[in-house]
Amino acid sequence: MRNTVELISRQVGAESGELFEQEFCLFNQSVEIGEDVAEKNKELFIENLKLRSEIEKLKKIGFIDSPTGIYNKRYLQIRLEEEFARAQRHGLPLASIFIDLDDFKAVNDTYGHIVGDKLLKEVASVLEGLCRSEDVLARFGGEEFVVLMSGASGPEAVALAERIRKKIANHIFLSGDTKISVSISLGVSAINNGDFEYVNDPEELICMADRAMYMVKQNGKNNTCYLPFRFEKGAPVPSKVAERQYEFLVP
């Protein structure tokens, strides 16, 4: 590069060559500065991506139940409101399954809470493997889980609930050399298009499934109970705590 400048200097004269050399140096400096700026911008862009990734991780952590690795109750509540509004707007059904492990206290008392936590995590893994990709699976609290099924009717939710019940009942949970078997009680409820006239609170869907699950608990456990919303035209609007018609799947 220097030889080129000297050659030009000799051709155009010392004074003109000196001026050209100064301008050429300034040009090189501007190129170098431009490259430095571009490199800095690239570094800032990468840092921003990393920062955004960390923020997303923090947001996700806030919605994840750490012992089981699935969504927590906070995330479920947000999605419940979103899916309820969506179902109401488009006239779609919305179903939920409330799941409770039977006699889980006995597991903790017999094998310890560490084993109990491992069992909960494995139960969550089994549930994940059976749920649809569009379903929301969350730990509701303790040994309770909820599956929120958008666009699913009551019978479709019942079918999934029974697959879950049978899978858990036949699953062997291992803790060292110890084999543990557990059962679950499940309550199912669904809101259909016509029900939205009477059901205004999204949490009523979970409450109804929860009540259905307790009916199972009171009638022998290890079963599924379907407790739908049923409203008859012209009849008084029933309160959400009133008894509904219900059915157990297993005699």
Active site members: 143
From CA 132, how far away is CA 145, in angstroms rounded? Answer: 15
Give long-range contacts, CB 8 A cutoff, 24+ apart: 129-136. 130/160, 130/163, 130/164, 130/167, 131/160, 132/160, 136/71, 136/75, 136/76, 136/79, 136/80, 136/83
- Strand (E) or helix (H) holding 157: helix 154-170
CB count within 10 Å of CB 158 equals 22
Residue 225 neighbours by CB distance under 10 Å:
27
Task: Note the Cα 165 to chain centre separation in Å.
Answer: 21
